[in-house]
Amino acid sequence: MQHDLRKIVKNFDRAQEEDQTAQFAAEHQLPYVNLVNYPFVGDVLGLIPEETANKFSIVAFMKIGQSLRVATSNPFNPELATTMNELGIKLDMKFEPFVCSPSSMDYALSRYPMIVQKAKDNSINTKPGESIENELKSLKDVQQAISTVSTTELLETIIGGATILDASDIHFEPMQDKVHVRFRVDGKLLPIFELPEKTYKPLSSRIMTSSKIKLDLKTVAQDGRMTVEVNGNPLDIRVNVLPSAYGQTIVLRLLNYKNFLTLDQLDFNDNAKAAMLEAVAKPEGLVLFTGPTGSGKTTSLYAVLQILNSNDRKIITIEDPVEYRIDGIEQIQINAADGFDFPQALRAVLRQDPNVIMVGEIRDKETAEIAVNAALTGHLVLSTLHTNSAAAAFARLLQMGVPKYLMADAIALVVAQRLVRKVCEVCRGSGCETCNMTGFKGRILISEYLKPDSEIIELIKREASLSEFQKHFAEAGGRSLLQDGLDKVAQGITTEEEVRSVTA
């Protein structure tokens, strides 16, 4: 039987109309969407011709990879399935159908003349075949492009501009009557521009919808993820939304695959690199990377995983979240809200007969104990720990309550690291457009490492203090983070002020 929602939904106010439509969708086990005031994008809406959209009451509202989400107010039109099949073949896309209210459909159809042609007329690439990289070269170019682009293309321009400037994060920060937008470049936040509040509302809705974050939950923090294409290359984006005094603060973490470096491309000194290669060549043991958030620990972990990734090894990672996807490696995403946390995931992984296990972070005693036990029973375990130095890792694990008799035999190597900004090679620190007038462009890694010796084992067994571990590190001739950094200062790569700012 044909169901026409226009006959079912009548004489109701807007709220009742949406409630009734949602109930209708649930009864027929179909997903529901409310498109009134939805931030439509011209190049997505325009995938379905306006004539077809009007004739069959169907519109496209979101594109995710090769999947296209479409909405209809008349899901049981007998001609709709054939039309969707033909469009799917023509566009080489898989359709995901949703049910919407008649008012939603009216709103969507009204957007065609307003944004479909406009999106084509306001493309970032002003010349055929020209990429955004050819148009945007500096901070000034990015700011100008963002200030002049149409609302429908604003998000693409912001993300594109961030990749041009090699930003790691994009911050949207609502204030009383405006929204600050800042990029984190080389570890420092860089003010980009300010958005009017009325522009931020549809922009934030689009970000949240694209990353599968619920729009109606405005008083809790939420996480999501989306993948976009920038100049033909995939870009994974982690999205975090946090309620604040003036609205929802949004941070986008750009997981750029061009930053997925090999160990040879990282800046470990020769001795540290040799120590790592020696440690990960063993079939068992615990290798730890330490440092604060943003010190490059995850990048180092992934670099080591690339070395170990081979057909004769089973490698499983436990991450929160999975940042970069690697072929040939099983990557597990924890979900603490559902009880699937690091300890539970680690126990489950051990039953999968892995050779190598990567635990994104050791946060508690339970995870630490399981990781240490795994390292003693024929597994190579890689992980990270939040400590300020290599020596501090031993004291931290003892403070967590990890049994000293386990630690003494399990730990193969601890590497501490930081990232410092590099002096701009163009202006040599005086400031230019290339470095956004900061004097710095790019970052370099500084590190220290500590391999347990007989003295370290004795310190562990008698649960020595942090100062005792640090004293042994110095007396044994260990080169500290500061010393490694000053070596790079002497080479003209960075400045002493930069080094001391992260090693103090």
Q: Nearest-5° angle of CA 475, CA 478, CA 482?
A: 115
Cβ–Cβ < 8 Å for 139, 172: no
Cβ–Cβ < 8 Å for 285, 375: yes
d(CA 67, CA 92): 9
**DSSP SS3 for 209:** helix
pLDDT at 214: 84
Judged by phi (left if over 0) then psi (alpha if -120 to 50, else beta), residue 179 lies in beta
Q: Which of 361, 256, 356, 254 is nearest to 306 (CA)?
A: 356
Number of Cβ atoms within 10 Å of the Cβ of 426: 13
Amino acid at 67: S
**pLDDT less than 70: residues of the chain:** 1-13, 117-137, 150-152, 257-259
Q: Which of 387, 321, 415 is nearest to 360 (CA)?
A: 321
HEC per residue, 428-465: CCCCCCCCCCCCEEEEEEEEEEECCCHHHHHHHHCCCC
pLDDT at 119: 39
| Residue whose pair of structure tokens reads 């300010």 in the numeric block | 194
Q: Which of 309, 175, 310 is nearest to 245 (CA)?
A: 175
Token reading at 150:
């149409």
d(CA 326, CA 335): 20
HEC per residue, 414-426: EEEEEEEEEECCC
Amino acid at 451: K
pLDDT at 8: 44
Q: How far is CA 70 from CA 87, 105, 114, 146, in A?
A: 11, 11, 19, 29
Cβ–Cβ < 8 Å for 376, 410: yes
| Residue whose pair of structure tokens reads 């003349």 in the numeric block | 113
d(CA 181, CA 443): 22
Token reading at 429:
């620190």
- For the chain, how big is the Rg over CA atoms in Å? 27
For 377-426, write each residue's pLDDT tens digit.
999 999 999 999 999 999 999 999 999 999 989 999 999 999 999 999 99
DSSP codes, 348-367: HHHTT--SEEEES---SHHH
Number of Cβ atoms within 10 Å of the Cβ of 240: 16
| Residue whose pair of structure tokens reads 């409630």 in the numeric block | 19
d(CA 81, CA 65): 22
- Strands 67-72 and 58-64, by their bridges, are antiparallel
Cβ–Cβ < 8 Å for 182, 249: no
HEC per residue, 54-94: HHHCEEEEEEECCEEEEEECCCCCCCHHHHHHHHHHHHCCE
Name the DSSP class of 112.
Answer: I
pLDDT at 86: 84
| Residue whose pair of structure tokens reads 């003036």 in the numeric block | 246
pLDDT at 110: 86
Q: Which of 379, 346, 374 is nearest to 360 (CA)?
A: 346
Token reading at 453:
């010796």
